[in-house]
Chains A and B, each alone.
Chain A
Amino acid sequence: MTRFDALERELTVWFDETAIPRRPDYTTEIIQATAALPQRRWMTIERWFPMTVVAFRRTVPPFPWRTAAVLIALLAILVAGLVYVGSQPRLPPPFGLAGNGLVAYAKDGDILTVDPATGVRRWITSGDEVDELPRWSPDGTRLAFLRGSLAAPVEGARPLRRVVVVDRQRNVLSESVSLYDADPDAFAWSPDGRYIAIGARGLFILDTADGGVRTLDVGYQGLDFYWRPTHPSELLFRGETADGVGLVLVDVDRPASARLVAGDGEDVSRPNGWTLDGQRIVYTLQNFADDSAPPTGRTRILDMTTGAFVDIDGAYAHVSNGGTRLVAIGRDSRPCIASIDGGPCNAIADATKAYDGTYAGGASWAPNDGSIMVSSFGTLALLDPAGQGSGAPPSWMTDGAESWQRVAQ
């Protein structure tokens, strides 16, 4: 039995022993309170009229000549636009600010894109296989995602997934061999688009040109990883070397180069990214010694050359595309914005808009840094970095929002 198995067993026993189900004394209060409340009613027309009436009403509208003319004109403009765009290939830089393109997301095992400007959705994949975690390449020309080979997985079976890379026209460019336990939350393109790093029960590097996968013999410890902007084959991850446990930097073309760049002390470190110059690493120090719940944490921005650092009072940071700011979760659980050079972390929304900081996809800046997509269980929101407005998510992101395409500005 492994130490992990033992922990799982003990957790089960502890839960059973410490939370014996009982009927709470406020049960009657709940029943009485709900009896006095109205239920929400259906708002669709079908609820109030027989379907035959609704269907009839829908079948006889006059032919919309005006709409058709507008559509034809729009189509002509679209075709002209496509021809123009096709003849003028402009790509965004792999990092730094870019224009906002389509947002890709997974829903019911399919991959879709939505255009935030128009709300138009488009299926990229469909079928029995389970596709998830779409990620746009840094130049916005390709989309990678994980595809499960088991349409109806048997419980307890180890999930088997492969990486599929498609272009904007949905042509499959490459497909990897299947990997056991590929982690949908640990999946990142290198800045030059040559590689995709995949976390599974180990760290794997996929060559996007041919789908070939190799394993990196490094002490990867199963969290997110971040490619170094200025050195496209260098990857930062949490792991272990002969010098200890902490943040490790490796050149994926030379696995023996793995070195510890920030060792754990009293705090446990987890990587959050880089500054644009590739000189400073950004990571969270989780302080488990602090007895508050949940764990407190702070963000450290460490210069790897000089060893100088600044700490920010907020954890699980995401660096903006422009590289000057970061969003983090403050001590009061509110999303906050701080300068990359240090200083206070100023709240931009209430705690109900907090993202899940335990995986890289919990928050992502729009390519133009105009907004921040955040998600957690029961939370999906688009935050304004300036702190203006914190309402419901826009309709285009109601089904999900995972990866925002970078396009040329």
Chain B
Amino acid sequence: MDQRELAERARRGDHDAFAQLVEGSIARLEAVARLILRDPELARDAVQDAYIRAWRDLPSLRDPERIDHWLHRLTVNASLDVVRRRRRRPIEIDIGPISSPAVSDESGRVADRDTLERGFKRLRPEQRAILVLHYYLGLPASALAETLEIPQGTAQSRLYRALSDLKAALAADERATASFRSEVVA
């Protein structure tokens, strides 16, 4: 049974169909939430919130063809809600599944993995979300716009700005590291 059919059945209240939808999408949505939140516990909260909302609001989904976009939107919004509610909680990075593999400084690289991790964490959650949707899920600008319910041009602009801010964060990190190194040498 394809996604559309499952969504149509779930929309009519068939919980077995909804369970199949969950099984088919949860790995992807969980990865999205982990990347945005950088915290497995917060990601768990967000994914749970997203599916609960999905089940409750499925009857209002007008086009079952767009179930994927809809689930992505619910996951992004749930992630942003979680981070807004719990902003002051210390972020703990899961050392296991989302840890950064040790990569040596290769010539020509913009940033090593640790630097990228630090820079990414310093973006606002909205910016992290748009980068994850585009560079992890591979959503083109039109799908980003549909998922986030913003005009396509705005989606392109937000994506560009998120990248610019990431670049600025990496540059700041580079300056801080250089200054630290010079202090150590001195």
A residues in contact (CB < 8 Å) with B: 3-4, 6-8, 10-12, 14-24, 26-27, 29-31, 33-35, 37-42, 106, 109, 130, 132-133, 146, 148, 153, 155-156, 159, 161, 181-186, 221-223, 266, 268, 286, 288-289, 291, 293-295, 332-333, 350-352, 354, 356-359, 376-379
Contact = CB atoms under 8 A, between A and B. Distances in A.
Nearest to B31: A19
Interface of B: 13, 15, 18-19, 22-23, 26-28, 30-32, 34-35, 38, 44, 47-48, 51-52, 55-60, 73, 76-77, 80-81, 84-85, 87-88, 91, 97-101, 108-111, 113, 116-127, 129, 131-132, 135-136, 140-142, 148-154, 156-158, 160-170, 172-173, 175-176
A39 B48 contact: no
Given A153-B142, A333-B84, 9 more contacts: A15-B132, A23-B27, A30-B51, A33-B48, A37-B56, A39-B13, A39-B57, A161-B153, A293-B121
Given A10-B111, A11-B166, A333-B87, A21 B154 contact: no
A140 B126 CA distance: 31
10 contacts: A12-B135, A33-B52, A109-B151, A133-B151, A184-B157, A286-B168, A288-B122, A293-B91, A293-B121, A377-B76
A23 B135 contact: no
B63 to A, nearest CB: 14
A18 B100 contact: yes
A39 B55 contact: yes
Nearest to B57: A40
A31 B77 contact: no
Contact of A37 (B55, B136, B148, B173): B55
Contacts of B176: 266, 288-289
B23 to A, nearest CB: 7
B96 to A, nearest CB: 10
Contacts of B140: 155-156
Contacts of B48: 26, 29-30, 33
9 closest pairs, A vs B, by CB? A288-B172, A378-B77, A21-B27, A293-B121, A34-B55, A351-B84, A15-B136, A19-B31, A132-B151
A18 B99 contact: yes
